[in-house]
């Protein structure tokens, strides 16, 4: 996949990961009984919130360029290894691929526009939320 | 007790490409609908399923690729005619091909099959239901294309076989209520 998230942006200072969900609709009757209908066999919508605290303008520039290279929230991409630094390769590969089989059935997207807070001269804190979506 | 159901839907659309020499109605398509239809000139069969993402599934000897469609309900009436059914696709290459090759989905025939799966997504034997429709057009929006169909039985009420009410047809008759034909 073209335009992976730049590894040179480094390791994030904080990271929150939320598992993806499966397409299920739940009907709850008045008695409390539920019926679940499953619509697919792949999970989607995992989110990864990362924060780069007090990073240089060089890092800010890399992320800025990448955001525009994928046209914001338009195109998907692969995560960098550094984004998932600290995890074992086994787990990191599953998260990057979006499933336990590591078959790369998902791509990651910017869920929203990254937030940049200037903390000191030439230093910024950047908050990004990625979301995984099933690829075609 | 709560329960879960998993359903895969198989979409088999036979389209007849409109050309200067092809018929302008489905009459010839119906006549030619046979096991070797795919070899007929100007006829294409499109097969898709909507549960197993990015997987090709074999069903009744044919391969169904994944397409993210959904079906929307049908309305039945006593006459059996004018039962409308629609299949909604996101705006992608697949559905444009379906629409264009079927002359805006007016020269097409749909076999729509529903199959139940167990908790491991293995098909349940005997839980397969098929319905047949013919295309009546398509509707477009910014993000979706809706293929519209009516049921294959195009009855005219005056010619439709008359059914008489009997106990076997309606069950036990109530003393006062409305009767629902089954």
Mean pLDDT taken over chain A: 91
In tens, the pLDDT along A4-29 reads 999 999 999 999 999 999 999 999 99
- Residues from chain B that touch A135, judged by Cβ atoms under 8 A, are 54
For chains A and B, CB pairs below 8 A equal 41
- Residues from chain A that touch B92, judged by Cβ atoms under 8 A, are 136
Is B127 strand, coil or helix?
strand
Parallel, antiparallel or unpaired: strands A123-134 and A47-55: antiparallel
The answer to whether B51 contacts A41, with C-beta atoms less than 8 Å apart, is yes
Nearest CA in chain A to B94: A136
Instruction: Measure CB to CB from residue B53 to each of A24, A37, A42 and give the nearest one.
Output: A42
Q: What is the ipTM of this complex?
A: 0.80
Nearest CA in chain A to B71: A39
In tens, the pLDDT along A112-135 reads 999 999 998 889 999 999 999 988
Instruction: Measure CB to CB from residue B53 to each of A33, A38, A41 and give the nearest one.
Output: A41
Closest Cα partner for B149 from B111, B94, B113? B111
In tens, the pLDDT along A49-108 reads 999 999 999 999 999 999 999 999 999 999 999 999 999 999 998 888 877 777 777 899
Please list the ranges in chain B whose pLDDT falls under 50: 23-39
Enclosing H/E stretch for A67:
helix A57-69
Within 13 Å and on the Cβ side, how many CA atoms surround A84?
A: 21
The partner residues of B70 in beta bridges, in order of sequence, read: B88
In tens, the pLDDT along A91-107 reads 998 888 877 777 777 89
């Amino acid at each position: 996949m073209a335009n992976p998230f730049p590894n040179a942006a480094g390791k994030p200072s904080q990271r929150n990961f939320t598992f993806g969900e499966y397409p299920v609709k739940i009907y709850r009757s008045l008695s409390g009984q539920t019926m679940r209908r499953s619509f697919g066999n792949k999970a989607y919508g995992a989110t990864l919130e990362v924060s780069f605290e007090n990073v240089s303008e060089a890092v800010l520039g890399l992320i800025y360029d990448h955001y525009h290279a994928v046209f914001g929230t338009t195109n998907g991409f692969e995560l960098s290894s550094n984004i998932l630094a600290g995890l074992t390769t086994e787990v990191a590969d599953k998260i990057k691929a979006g499933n336990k089989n590591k078959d790369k059935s998902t791509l990651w997207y910017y869920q929203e526009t990254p937030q940049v807070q200037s903390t000191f001269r030439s230093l910024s804190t950047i908050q990004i939320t990625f979301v995984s979506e099933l690829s075609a | 007790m709560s329960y879960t159901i998993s359903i895969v839907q198989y979409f088999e659309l036979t389209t007849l490409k409109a050309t200067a020499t092809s018929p302008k109605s489905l009459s010839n398509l119906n006549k030619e609908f046979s096991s070797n239809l795919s070899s007929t000139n100007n006829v294409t069969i499109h097969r898709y399923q909507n549960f197993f993402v990015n997987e090709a599934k074999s069903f009744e000897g044919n391969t169904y690729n994944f397409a993210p469609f959904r079906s929307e309900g049908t309305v039945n009436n006593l006459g059996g005619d004018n039962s409308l059914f629609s299949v909604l696709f996101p705006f992608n290459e697949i559905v444009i091909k379906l629409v264009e090759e079927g002359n805006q989905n007016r020269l097409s025939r749909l076999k729509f099959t529903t199959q139940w799966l167990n908790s491991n997504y293995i098909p349940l034997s005997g839980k397969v239901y098929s319905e047949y429709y013919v295309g009546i057009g398509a509707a477009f929006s910014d993000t979706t294309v809706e293929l519209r169909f009516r049921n294959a039985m195009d009855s005219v009420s005056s010619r439709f076989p008359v059914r008489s009410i009997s106990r076997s047809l309606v069950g036990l008759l109530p003393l006062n209520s409305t009767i629902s034909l089954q």
